[in-house]
Structure 1
């Protein structure tokens, strides 16, 4: 068995998990991790029995591929260095801060025939994967992703922090170009938007209503997908999917009879599946499940949502200032 030498840049909350998953995969040799925080980095290196590098550039000659789990504003700089060094990368979402940066990474990866996978973790949620065979022609999607406040991730807008997960899934489900976006959002606990809603309307008439919040007292990650003859409830957090199929036979009320199928995946590990998929694509030199282009597509819509919310907020402020 040929061993794949890998590394991890960034060993915060999520980066630590990346390192642990790599260390547990038999066909992978976790060579080292890099972090500017030497205390955190050395702790994770000790846990995973690998080397610690304070400068990620000194790690690159030792490895074939790596995960990049650094703050979003650093994605472009770090990922570009790694691609220029000829390394396949799994880059946490969002791919970058701007579309221009995303285009730069995609071009660099294509030029050097490298794997660029974007870490949209929910694609590997077993409930999401279980629903895919039951999808036909979705006409309406209702998505709610609310979370308690955590300081990590608050360096970016809630749309890039949370909503982009659902945007990515919806764009993968609805096979039609996006036509219009209607939004509302507000900052509450930070200087950026903390709660937001976006209504995405596609050219084929399908509509998705997406709500996110990072200032809730509870956590909930659910999506409902309605299509002719059936609808699907997906509970991301509990890894559970319910498929409700409507029959031609009617109940006394006139409502079609329902066939309900529930699938639960309590033992599923989305991050391990994501990393195993990355390793598989490296060895096969095949296209990742979430490529750089798909990461860019989700970022494009997310940035449109953010810009529209900002325009609404500026207009509201302008009207307030004009009042006597």
Structure 2
């Protein structure tokens, strides 16, 4: 079978891992990596035995699919350009900076019958996949996503940078309309909010509380889900989950079996399979647009 020809646009702190994984995937030819930083592009190309480019347009006609791992404000331009050329795209989250740009990308993909997959990587986390089948009508969901300060994604705030992961997960799990929102945020080291919290109330009665920080002194990526018959706790980083149940006058704890795998590896394998088989991705452009819409509403409430 002919190999899927892939390119990676942007090989910064995350894009380099896209290049690493594609270079090792069966059935994939990493055609090239592209970055405006010539030294970086050449370094990554040598490491993964591929070609270096500094203009993404030089990959036109050479690839079936691309990962777009560039600053958010370039997603629309780069994504549209590749869709115009008949290339399937995996674009890092958030899908774009504005809803108008997202709508334009989605329309272009529909018109061209092409795939847009969006990099909400936690959907591919082995832990979330393991617990999803035992989640039943959650009453309360609590998320904490804390990170050390890194000089990346500074063109957006922490809501679009980090919190959007949890927004996407919760929208998928609850599958109900948000009817009330209370958000707050604080600028600490950048021009955008670096710490944020939001409380969401859904039409079906579920409440969620999400906290995100990119100026913490330690990392944490956890979700806790409370439902009538159980409480489920997942550590995304460790891919460890426990379920707590009431048994008479006691509470029991049981570790949930999880077959661990690097989440980005799962995500990129899924993208390649979608390109090969022309299948709908697990995280579609439409779902990513909804997560973006919610994130923008939260950001607007924080910065009226």
Contact persistence 1:187–1:193 (CA under 8 A): yes
Q: Secondary structure of 2:61's match?
A: helix
Question: In the alignment, which residue of structure 2 is the partner of 1:293?
Answer: 286
Against the structure 1 CA distance between its residues 259 and 241, is the aligned structure 2 distance closer, same or farther, given a 3 Å change threshold?
Answer: closer
Aligned equivalent of 2:255, options 252, 258, 261: 261
Distance in 1, matches of 2:256 and 2:287, equals 29
Deviations 1:65-93, CA, capped at 9 Å, x for gaps: 11000011111000000111110000000
Q: Secondary structure of 1:149's match?
A: coil
Q: Secondary structure of 1:181's match?
A: strand
Distance in 2, matches of 1:35 and 1:257, equals 53
Question: In the alignment, which residue of structure 2 is the partner of 1:127?
Answer: 127
Question: In the alignment, which residue of structure 1 is the partner of 2:274?
Answer: 281
Deviations 1:145-175, CA, capped at 9 Å, x for gaps: 1111001122211000100000000000002
Structure 1 unaligned segments of length 5 or more: list them.
Answer: 312-324
Distance in 2, matches of 1:244 and 1:41, equals 48
Q: Secondary structure of 2:117's match?
A: strand
Distance in 2, matches of 1:238 and 1:257, equals 23
Question: In the alignment, which residue of structure 2 is the partner of 1:9?
Answer: 9
Q: Secondary structure of 1:136's match?
A: coil
Deviations 1:166-186, CA, capped at 9 Å, x for gaps: 000000000211111101111
Question: In the alignment, which residue of structure 1 is the partner of 2:100?
Answer: 100
Distance in 2, matches of 1:85 and 1:269, equals 31
Once the two structures are TM-superposed, the CA of residue 261 in structure 1 deviates from its matched residue by: 2.9
Deviations 1:176-222, CA, capped at 9 Å, x for gaps: 11111101111011111010100011001101000011111111111
Question: In the alignment, which residue of structure 2 is the partner of 1:245?
Answer: 245
Question: In the alignment, which residue of structure 1 is the partner of 2:42?
Answer: 42
Contact persistence 1:246–1:259 (CA under 8 A): no
- TM-score between the two structures when normalised by the length of structure 2: 0.98
Once the two structures are TM-superposed, the CA of residue 132 in structure 1 deviates from its matched residue by: 0.8
Question: In the alignment, which residue of structure 2 is the partner of 1:145?
Answer: 145
After superposing on structure 2, the runs of 4+ consecutive aligned residues of structure 1 that deviate more than 3 Å are: 262-265
Once the two structures are TM-superposed, the CA of residue 231 in structure 1 deviates from its matched residue by: 1.3
Structure 2 unaligned segments of length 5 or more: list them.
Answer: none
Contact persistence 2:18–2:67 (CA under 8 A): yes
Alignment of 1:19-98 (within 5 A): 19-98=19-98
Q: Which protein has the larger Cα radius of gyration, Structure 1 or Structure 2?
A: 1
Distance in 2, matches of 1:212 and 1:259, equals 27
Distance in 1, matches of 2:133 and 2:258, equals 16
Once the two structures are TM-superposed, the CA of residue 264 in structure 1 deviates from its matched residue by: 5.1
Distance in 1, matches of 2:186 and 2:302, equals 8
Distance in 2, matches of 1:30 and 1:246, equals 51
Distance in 1, matches of 2:175 and 2:58, equals 43
Deviations 1:212-270, CA, capped at 9 Å, x for gaps: 111111111111000110111010111111122334xx12xxxx5435233355x5211
Please, what is the CA RMSD of the aligned residues? 1.1
2:234 aligned with 1:234, yes or no?
Answer: yes
Aligned residues: 304
Contact persistence 2:130–2:258 (CA under 8 A): no
Deviations 1:257-293, CA, capped at 9 Å, x for gaps: 435233355x521111000000111111111000000
Q: Structure 1 residues 98-107 or 267-276, which shifts more?
A: 267-276
